[in-house]
Amino acid sequence: MTSDIKEMYGTRGYVIVPGLIPPELFTTLKEACERVVSKTRSGAWPYRRTVGRQFPPFDNEHQDSWGVQHIMHPDLGELIFAEWYTCAELTGVVRELLSCREDDLQMELLNMLINPLNNDFALRWHRDDVREDATTEEEEDALAAWTHGVALCEDSCLYIVPGSHKLPRTDEQRALSVTRDPPENPLDMPGAIQVTLQPGETLFYNSNILHCARYDSKRQRCTLHGCMGDIRGGSVRARNVLQHGLEWMKEARFVSQLSERGQGMLRRMQECLSPSTVTGCYSLL
Ligand SMILES: O=C(O)CCC(=O)C(=O)O
Ligand SMILES: [Fe+2]
């Protein structure tokens, strides 16, 4: 079973795994999500993805939100998110996909993606860490990276091109993804599929797969969206993570709320973020 997951992740660039939220955590997680969403919509929680901005840095120009950032932040007081992020079920699959040991895993980001309330919104076709105008050679050089999302209610927002994490774009795919505008119809992209997640399913995808998303203000979305790495990721991973501003992760009150596994993951992330390992800048500003 697990090697099937790994093979699919390797060849298609994504895999959907059910059952990674322990049953006793599901309701607690959902309730925590509801509290956090309402703090974000009311303005009490300032770290959010705002309608009008597809990628970081996010600003506060627009009232409507399509995501909540930093949900493990101690100011939110929702310990369940770090508990889930570092749980045996999720980290076990990550270790399998990355072929790494538990002692190599490192903590990165955990955010939440939600439906905007009054405005539909969309993300253009992109790879998370490769610019849209990259040459074919630059695309070929892009390193594998990965992301995961777990849906707490049905989620059909994401479109991907399976296999594109390993291949530079064809001329036709390039023509539809050099623009900074979201597509009118994502399925016009050759090879694209729409991904649907049922509650409790987790999607793991290589974040350099060609992908875009559409957010319907009339359909509830509540999906945890995060990434996790291992120590081999070095400066490439660090660059991906650093754009989000993670000073709060150094605070003792955050460290002390983590399990032993979580503390080890955090320590390795901090080592990787030391200034000597970080170069370059993020592609999607
Ligand atoms: O909404 C999604 O599922 C995708 C988000 C995304 O592509 C991103 O944050 O870079
Ligand atoms: Fe993305």
Segment 226-271, tens digit of pLDDT? 988 888 776 666 666 766 678 899 899 999 999 999 999 999 888 8
- Residue 280: pLDDT band with limits 50, 70, 90: very low
Q: What structural domains does the chain harbor?
A: 4-277 (2.60.120.620)
Spatial contact of 80 and 25, defined as CB atoms under 8 Å apart: yes
Query: How many angstroms does the Cα of residue 256 sit away from the middle of ligand 1?
Result: 30
Mean pLDDT of 33-54: 97
Other C-beta atoms closer than 10 Å to the C-beta of 234 total 14
Q: Using CA positions, which residue lies closest to atom 10 of ligand 1?
A: 128
Burial of 274 (0-12, 13-18, 19+ CB in 10 A): exposed
Q: How far apart are CA 107 and CA 266, in angstroms?
A: 5
Read off the pLDDT of residues 56-100 as tens digits, 9 standing for 90 and up.
889 999 999 999 999 999 999 999 999 999 999 999 999 998 888
213 in contact with ligand 1, CB cutoff 6 A: yes
Tokens of 59: 């600003």
Ligand 1, atom 5: closest residue by C-alpha: 213
Check if 158 has its Cβ closer than 6 Å to any atom of ligand 1.
yes
Using CB atoms within 10 Å of the CB of residue 166, give its burial: 0 to 12 exposed, 13 to 18 middle, 19+ buried: middle
pLDDT at 139: 76
Q: Say if ligand 1 is within 6 A of residue 82 CB.
A: no
Structure confidence at residue 239 (pLDDT): 67
* Token pair belonging to 31: 């309730």
Residue 285 pLDDT class (50, 70, 90 cuts): very low
pLDDT given at position 281:
27
With a 6 Å cutoff on the Cβ, whether 113 touches ligand 1 is: yes
